[in-house]
Structures are given as C-alpha cells and as structure tokens.
Amino acid sequence: MKTIPSLLLGWLTASTSLFAQAPWSGDLMQKGIAAVTCGAPAQDPTGTPISAGNAFTFGLFDVRNPSPSDYGPCQNVFPPTPVTTPIWYAADYHDPTWNARDLGNVFGIAIDDNGQMYTGAHGLYGTYQPLHHRYGNIGGGAASLSAAGTVYRIDKTTGLPTVYCVIPNQQPMTLSTPTFVSGPGLGNLTFDADHNQFFVTSLEDGKIYRVAAGGMTGTVLNSHDPLAPDSGNPGMPSRDDRLWAVEYHEGEVYYSVWHDGSPGNPSEIRKVGLDGSGNFVPSLDVHVAYVPGQAGWAASSPVVDLTFSLDGQTMVAGVRTMATDTRAYNHASGTHLLELVSGSWTPTHFQRTGCNNPDGEGYGGVALGMEGGTQDAVVWTSSADMVANYGPHGLFGVRLSDVPVNGMAVNSWKVPYIAGFANMPMDDRKGSGGDIEILREEACAQIEVREIHCPEEAGAPYTVDLIIDHNLTSTTVNYLQFKPCPTSSLPAGSSTVQPGPAGIVTLSPPLPANTPYPISVTLPASPMGGMVYFKVKLLNETGVECCLETVCVDLPPCDCAEILDTRIDCEPDPATGLNKYTLTFTVQNQTHLSGSPFTFSGATFLPPSGFDQSSIVLSPANIAPGTTGTVSICYYGVPGALCFNLAVHDGTEENCCALTDICLDLPPCDGHTDPEPDTCALARRIPCCPETGTAVVDFTVCNNSAVPRTYSWSFTSTPTVSCPIMLDPSDLSPAAGFIGPVPAFGCMTVSIVVRCDKFQEPGSCANLELCADPGMGLPVVCCSTVIYLPSPDEPVVKLSDPTGDGPIGLTPGEKRELTFKVQNPTDSELPVSLQFFSENGMLAVGEERFEAVLAPQSSQEVVVPITRRDNGDQSPQWTELQIIGKVLHRPLAYLPVQLLDGDRSKALPKVKKIDTIPLPSATVQLDIQTLPGRYYRVEESSDMLGEWSTTECTVTDGGYANGVFLGNGGVVNCSVPCDELEKKMFYRVVRID
C-alpha cells in the first residue's frame, strides 16, 4: 500500500482525531468501496527502512467507477523496458492506526449491514522481501496470543480500530520467520445479516466460531468443529482438517478445507446449515464442491476466500499460493467461478490471475464490484505481478463476462497497493497480498421464490409463487411487468422465458415500501427443469420504471415423480434393538409430462443400508402415468434424520427415473405414529394499539408431518351481531401470502398488520379467521381471533419481550419469565387490576396478580414467571395464558404458548400406564416406554410446584434402589412405594443420559 511520509502522517493524525478525511465525501466505507488487507513492507524500493508505525496493513480503495481506458492487457516485460499498459492508481485512504504496530498483520475482512468494518489477525504472510511480521498493540502486542485471535472493528466514520472480540485457543508456534512465535491467527470472517452475527475460522484448531454482533463488541457464542476433533496441541491441524475461507449465504455457512490444492488432493468447499436462531446444525454439514487443483511447484494452494453474486447463481473462490504452511507466496494460484447448475455448485471458469506466471498470481482475496453503476460487473482479486515480472502487487479487476474458461485474462484493471510502480526487484513483495471485501448496493426489491408447482399436464407451464417486497420508501408501486432476460446476459446452461401474466399487472391498492406482496407467475419451460431467468419491473402511477430486478428460479425436474405425502409407522424391534419404521409415500407419477411415459411397478432405495429390501415390487397396485399411488418400505434404525434416493421403474426395469435427496425426520417409537394434524395458533382477542392505530396479528402454523410443507394463507372476516365490522383486503398488510417451507415437525409465524380505521366506538370489533392451505388435497388449518378497540376504562396488555419470529414455546418443566407491558391509553388515571391465569392448569403462574394506578398515557412493565407443569406425555400442542381484567371481569389478552416436546430425534420417556396396587403393600406401578441402553429416573412431587425428588422403584427384571433403571427398548414395569396418607402424588420419568 502507499507509504505516507512522516510529515504527512503527522498532519493526518491531527486532522483525523474526530473524523477521518478520505478522498471521497461522507463515511469512509460506502457501497462500492473496497476494504483491503496486505503485508506490511519493512523497506521501500530503494532499501530505506519503513517503521512498523508507518507500514500499513489495512486500507480502502475507491473502485466504484473503473474507466474503460484503464482496462488493458498484460505486459510481461523486464527492465529497462518501460511499462506502457494502463495502471489505475485508484483513490485510496489509510488511517494512521491501520499499521503493523497498532493493528498488526490482518487478513480476513467482513462488512456488516451498517457499513462497519471488521478484520481478523493473521500470521502467515510472505518473506521474499522484508515485511513486518507481528500482531498489533491494540490487540495485546507483537507476539500476544490474545492478539493472534483478535477480530478488530474499524469504525466507518472515524476509522479508529478497536478490539471487537477474541477467538480463543491460539497457541504458540513458529510462524513465517524464526523470531515470530505466536498463534497462527484467523483464516477469514463473514457477516450474517439474517441473524445479526459473524462467523470466523481459526487456523489454530480447525473450527468455525460463531460471534453475536453487539455494537462495539461481539460475544463468542460457540463453535463448530466439522472434521477431526481438535487435539488441543499447539500448531495448526493437518491440511485435511484446516479451514480458511468462510462465507454466509442463504441460511448456510460455506467454508473451505485447505487440503493441498493439488490435483490429487484439491481444496474443498463445504457448508453447514443453521437453525432458526442461527446456531449450527452439525447434521447439515455436507460437501459442496472440490475446486480443481493446480500442479504448480507450491507446497499447497488453498481456497482462502469466497463470495456470491447477488442473484445467488455464481460463487467466486480465491486461491492462495503457500510456499510452506506458514509462508505465503505467488505463482501457483488463481480465481475460480462456480455456477449453480441443477442445484449443485459446479466449477465452470478458472482465471489464472495476474500477468506473469501461467499458473496464476492470485493471493486469494475475491470480491464483486460495479462498473457504470451495474452491480456484480467486475471480479476483483488480490494478486501479484499484475503487469510484469516484478509486480505490481494489488487489486486485479476483470469484467465478469471476460473471465476466461481456463487461462489468463486478456484485459484487466490493475490497482497497486503502493503508488509509483517502477518494475524493480524491490517492488516484488511476494506473499504480501491479502483479502478484499466490497460493500455492495442493496437491491431495490427483494423477490423471494416461495414455492414451485410442477405442470399439471403435458405442455402446461410451471407455476411459481413469489413474494415481492420493495424498499423504495418514497415511492408506491402501482404496476408490475414480467419480461424475459436478454439471452446474451444468461449464464451457461440457463434459459429465459416470458412469464405469465404477459401484460401489465395493476396493483390495487398500490404497494408501499416494505410490504410483502404475494403473486403467482407461470413459466413455460421444459418439465426436465433447469435454471430459468426473468425480469420483474416495478412501475409507479405514471408508468415510470422505479425498479428492475432479475429473478432466477431453479425449476425441479417434473418428468419423473413427486412425493405428495409421507406416513411413518413405528414399533420397537427386540431382535435388533432398533426401531422398525414402515414408510408409506403417496407418489404421483409425472412421466406423463415427459416424452416417454411409463408405469411404476417397482422401486429401489439407495443407499440400501437399513432397508429390509433395497428393491420392491409396488403393492397393491402399479402407478400409471398421471395417477397417484403408494410406495411402502420398512427401515430399521433409530430416531433422527434419514436421507436416501428413490428410483422408480417399470416391470422391465429398462425405464426408470429417480427422486434424489429425500430426507425424513424419524420420530421416537411409540407403537405407531399416526400423522398428527397440522395446527395453528392465534391470540383469541387482539387490541388495536392506540399509538399506531393498528393491531398486529401473529399467525403461527405448525407442520406436524415428516416432510417440509409450504402453506398459502388467506383470511375471511364475517360480521356478527356482537362484532359487526367486516375487514377487507385493504385493511390487512399483507392480506394473503405464503408460509414456508415450514420444516418437518416445525412451526413458522407470519405477522399481519390490521388497520383499525373502521373501529370508531370503544368496544367495537371484527371477526378474523386465518387459514393455511398446504395444498395437495391435505386438510386446511384455520384459527380465529377478534380484533377490537379497547374501552376507555380498560388497559392495553401486550407482551413486550417477544422471542424471535415465533410463539412462546416451553418444553416439559421449563421455566420462563415473561415481561408484559400494561398501558393506560386514556387521558386520566386508570386503576388496573389484572390476574394471570392458565385455564387448563398446564402452566404454573408465579405472579398471578398485578395491581396499580397508571398515570394518563403511561405504561408499566410486569414480570410474570411461568412454568410448564406437565411431563409432555399426550400433551396438546398449544395452551394459553389468559390476562383477566378484574375490574371488568373479562379477558383482556390471550398469549398462545406452544408445548414443545424437544428434539424429536431423542425419544422422551413416556408413562404408558399407571395402576395402584393396595396389597400386600401400597405401591404404584408405572409402565414406561424406553429406548435400549438408555438410563431413566423416576421422580415424585406432591404438588408439581416445588422440587421433584427421586423415588425408590423396583424394576421387574432388576433395577436400582435410587430410582435409576436401564431401558430395554420396550415397556419397563416400575413399582414405586406409595404413602397411603398422601392425598395425591405426581410422578414423572426423566431420561438421564
């Protein structure tokens, strides 16, 4: 990077004490600005030493408007031949603290959704030319292990770096030079805006760390160790267990495994899924792709950075040359493009980055930038030797459309880290390049593909359900228009069509900003599926285009079969100690949509492990093209995830097709598991909020099947004598839409805002029924509520600490403190007397009453502890907490509470039967359903409110006096002594493994 003379440095320090001064106006970080890391030069091209305080490791470059005149070819020349190809000295900025002394060596970069910058300590830079190898004083010092694990936050306005968090477990090892002994540092980092958190890879232990975002500091929450467990020994793990790149994308965390980067052991890209809270789901850690290896001289060439195009169809992977495991270099690394082809990431292009060595000069940092205001137009990479044999080292930009399939780019933009490139040996700082991250423009509209429906007959189109939500705060959208994309802009292997409706769609009422709008379009495409692109144009009332977005849809193949429903029956199998699951699939034969229809008469399940037969003959009947039938198979296993492929074929087995990646959640075994009906939840009465003039309705739908489902929801409003107001679509935002895909045995909530303009008189109300339809002829689930305007003499009560996007959920015995806001909406004092009440007794309420006199237009919070009282055996899915107004003696609010049974992959103990035996001594006999090899304990309580105590029990075939016994996979009989003087006693069974 550019070295600033000491006199100028002193001036910058004085002038940036409050706000940094960059060559561009406004914040330092803006959309299109590139944040860059690099090694810190210890001397200039003349050999003059540069102190650590004057050698920069972090900087910003304005690459928003690359000029076509600077887009030129390589020129691999040796001195004294002059360099004539264009070099772009883009405007840059370096805060005085972004140096090797204060910030230290850093590599990975992330930018959050507010433009704040973050970078992680890193110790693996090169030694070909003198560089400063050390960590920063801000993090703890040159060789500090704490500094080696530090993630820094760099303020977007002042530029000042501070310690954001410290990733643990750094241990000392010899790094790039014999005198640099510390932890190896961090690989890369990424920001997850959906869950407001970061992910960081550690080079020390092969783990991905999850960090909660929190303003000036972050909190390390937990970690995911995807491969071999960390040994705890100092030093990096083996290359096959070493992680570097990490990037969040569409609810999943993608990361790279170092390996060798050679053709025989190429770098690997993997991903791990997240749950609704953003936590790791280790069972969803899967292989994504191998990046083609390079056969260069380097010790290894790992993938160190990843980024995705805004349309989600292109992944860019940057490779770095490593001369040793601790020393970076160049000459053997480039940039890969991977395209999403039929749902799989496939390497399609390899750019041998730079201009000197034909194997590539990449340093691994990658980002997508703009040209002429168009997003994702330029692939930017960190690179060595961008013009000639001695450099310069810096940022190498190639138009996305010009990235070669396999070779060096014909033309490029070349932005040196340090100004004044002279093509001299001291300019050639091999191994000095770092990472690059560019803050990109937000889309003017978010268009989400919610569900894809196969054609209903041969030649018919697909139907795609969309949600359109624009963020043009000063504009309402009056019209929509769907158009095909220019064929010249399409990725290889994709297509474009004219969606239906083909004309102008009038929106009534017009669509304001941040209001989801559901709409279905038809796509006339081949039933074989594939990637289809089209454009959505949003127009205002004058017909002026205010937003144009490109939508890509990965259409599934619909020329084989579709599973419409799944039934799982289960019984323990004593012979194997496993559960015997009978899986029955309702399957539609879709070969009538193809050119070669055939009847299904058999099926094969792969891999075959666990299935009693890998191939079966369909019974009781074959499934003809266009019709629906059943396929049934037995599987022996344990509760949890089961994934497999299903091939269907005709009697000759010459005609066949396959359904891939079918995943089920096998429940605990309790004889048989009839599918439970789906459920929904609504508060029974919802007040109009005086502050906003609206009521917020949280509609929760629970999918109780073993497969994900997407629901279309709608409303009805029927006037009655008691509630005569009728709501119409203009009163609800949104008025219809989709929920899902809701995971198997999971729930999802949609929030609906109801305008209360029609509610003029206190106490006036409207009935509202919301229904969710899963389609495929399955039952529709509906819930009802009443929207009302509170009376002047009653308070408004609402939950003030909602947990995420869903309802309150409690597992058996769980305790939770709920905070309610009690508001006086009137202009006079209001006596308030409330009672918190569980009508069916499922909840124990710790603070049952609240009394106060609220001042006019004031509110007060009340904390109500609740405890779930049941043990989860045969519990309903929902209960509710009622808030009763004792002055008016009527309910003021209802809070739905979901009764959870925890992780369905871990069977809850269940009491199947309970009897009292009076003679010869009073005992209670409990029949308990168990799993083989698991330990259980029996506990008792006289009132279910105090502590539960372990009771003695006698098991028919042996047990322990302290109430602990071993499960056998079936029903265990346990006898508990009973005190005849006790009026009542409650028992529960706890699994303690």
Percentages helix, strand, coil for the chain, rounded to the nearest 5? Answer: 5, 50, 50
Which bin fits 32, alpha (ψ -120 to 50), beta or left (φ > 0)?
left
Position 388 scores a pLDDT of 80
Structure-token pair, residue 811: 């597992």
Alpha-carbon gap, residue 346 to 340, rounded angstroms: 6
Please check whether residue 686 is in contact with residue 732, taking contact to mean a CB–CB distance below 8 angstroms. Answer: no
- Range 958-984 average pLDDT: 70
Instruction: Give phi and psi for 775, each to the nearest 5.
Output: 75, -170
SS3 263: coil
pLDDT: is 614 or 123 the higher one?
A: 123
- Residue 619 has a CB neighbour count (10 Å cut-off) of 11
pLDDT band at 545 (very low <50, low <70, confident <90, very high): low
Q: Return all residues near 962 (Cβ < 8 A) that are at least 6 apart.
A: 937, 950, 952
pLDDT band at 932 (very low <50, low <70, confident <90, very high): low
Alpha-carbon gap, residue 658 to 490, rounded angstroms: 28
- Residue 352 has a CB neighbour count (10 Å cut-off) of 21
pLDDT tens-digit map of 7-33: 222 222 222 333 457 899 889 999 899
Please check whether residue 694 is in contact with residue 686, taking contact to mean a CB–CB distance below 8 angstroms. Answer: no
Structure-token pair, residue 305: 């950075």
Structure-token pair, residue 640: 């949890």
Identify which of 146-155, 797-806, 848-857, 884-893 has the greatest average pLDDT.
146-155
CA angle, 379 as apex, 376 and 382 as ends, to 5°? 140
Position 787 scores a pLDDT of 93
Please check whether residue 454 is in contact with residue 527, taking contact to mean a CB–CB distance below 8 angstroms. Answer: yes
Alpha-carbon gap, residue 475 to 153, rounded angstroms: 35
Q: Is the pLDDT of residue 535 over 80?
A: yes
Structure-token pair, residue 327: 């020393």
pLDDT: is 90 or 824 the higher one?
A: 90
Which residue has tokens 């170092």?
A: 258
Instruction: Give phi and psi for 755, each to the nearest 5.
Output: -75, 135
Helix intervals (H) in 609-704: none
% pLDDT > 90, the chain? 45
Alpha-carbon gap, residue 13 to 4, rounded angstroms: 12
Q: Which residues of 970-993 are buried (b: 16+ CB within 10 A; e: fewer)?
A: ebbbbbbebeeeeeeeebbbbeee
Instruction: Give phi and psi for 776, each to the nearest 5.
Output: 55, 25
Alpha-carbon gap, residue 909 to 967, rounded angstroms: 10
- Residue 650 has a CB neighbour count (10 Å cut-off) of 15
- Strand-strand pairing, 445-453 and 517-523: unpaired
pLDDT tens-digit map of 407-457: 999 999 999 998 888 777 778 888 899 999 999 866 778 888 888 888 888
Q: Is the pLDDT of residue 830 over 70?
A: yes
* CA 200 vs CA 32, 222, 726, 882, 885: distances in Å: 23, 11, 52, 44, 50
Alpha-carbon gap, residue 709 to 738, rounded angstroms: 11
E-strand stretches of 129-206:
131-132, 150-154, 161-166, 173-174, 181-182, 186-192, 197-202
- Range 656-669 average pLDDT: 88
**Across 70-79, 323-332, 626-635, 912-921, least confident range:** 912-921
pLDDT tens-digit map of 293-304: 987 667 899 999
Q: Is the pLDDT of residue 673 over 60?
A: no
Please check whether residue 162 is in contact with residue 312, taking contact to mean a CB–CB distance below 8 angstroms. Answer: no
Which residue has tokens 């790791």?
A: 280
**Across 574-583, 651-660, 933-942, least confident range:** 933-942
- Range 144-168 average pLDDT: 96
Determine the straight-line distance between the first and last CA of the chain, rounded to whole angstroms. 57
Position 169 scores a pLDDT of 94
pLDDT tens-digit map of 344-376: 999 999 999 998 878 899 999 999 998 877 778
pLDDT band at 992 (very low <50, low <70, confident <90, very high): low
Alpha-carbon gap, residue 484 to 401, rounded angstroms: 20
pLDDT tens-digit map of 892-907: 777 888 888 754 434 4
String of DSSP letters for 132-143 = E--B-TTTT-TT
Amino acid at 817: E
Q: How many CA atoms lie within 13 A of 407 on its CB side?
A: 7
Name the pTM for this structure.
0.53
Cα Rg of the chain, angstroms: 32
Position 928 scores a pLDDT of 80
**Across 357-366, 532-541, 898-907, 934-943, least confident range:** 898-907
Position 292 scores a pLDDT of 93
Amino acid at 189: L
Position 381 scores a pLDDT of 98
Position 11 scores a pLDDT of 21
Burial class (CB in 10 A: 0-12, 13-18, 19+), 209: buried
Position 138 scores a pLDDT of 96
Q: How many CA atoms lie within 13 A of 878 on its CB side?
A: 18
Amino acid at 634: C
